[in-house]
Amino acid sequence: MTSKPYPEAWENVAELRVFRTTSKEWAKLITWRNEMKRKGWRLLKVSTERTEMTAVFGRTREDIGSSAR
């Protein structure tokens, strides 16, 4: 997949992390996903293509500023 798995405009308002894995491995990462949420990251989008699953996490610029205080 060469194109970005999220709309271009998202980059203007949020810090983003893209995670690619298989659905089977994704299910095993529940602790990691909960830790991401605890740190202020939100799961913005999940998509699948054949055997690959793509998850996009984001934190808005406001979220980042408020967690630094």
How do residues 2-35 score in pLDDT, each as one tens digit? 588 999 889 888 999 999 999 889 889 999 999 9
For residue 1, pLDDT beyond 50: no
Residue 7 CA, chain-centre distance (Å), reads 13
| pLDDT score at 67 | 60
pTM across the whole model = 0.76
In tens, the pLDDT along 34-67 reads 999 999 999 999 999 888 999 999 998 666 666 6
Contacts of 41 (CB under 8 A, 6+ apart): 17, 57, 58, 59
